[in-house]
Amino acid sequence: MEGEADSMDYWRGVGETPLDASFDKVLQAAKWPQVALKWAHAPVMFDAAGYPNLAARPFLRKALDAFGAERVMWASDISANQTGES
Task: Indicate the number of domains in the chain.
Answer: 1
Query: What pLDDT sits at residue 51?
Result: 83
Cis peptide before 58 (omega within 30 of 0): no
**pTM score, whole prediction:** 0.72
Task: Tell me whether residue 44 is in a domain.
Answer: yes
Segments in the chain forming alpha helices (H)? 8-16, 19-27, 42-45, 57-67
The per-residue pLDDT for range 16-63, each reduced to its tens digit, is: 888 888 899 999 999 999 999 999 888 888 888 888 889 999 999 999
Domain extent at residue 39: 19-74
Task: Tell me whether residue 4 is in a domain.
Answer: no
Query: What pLDDT sits at residue 6?
Result: 73
Query: What pLDDT sits at residue 5?
Result: 66
Task: Tell me whether residue 10 is in a domain.
Answer: no
Q: Is the confidence at residue 77, as pLDDT, over 70?
A: no
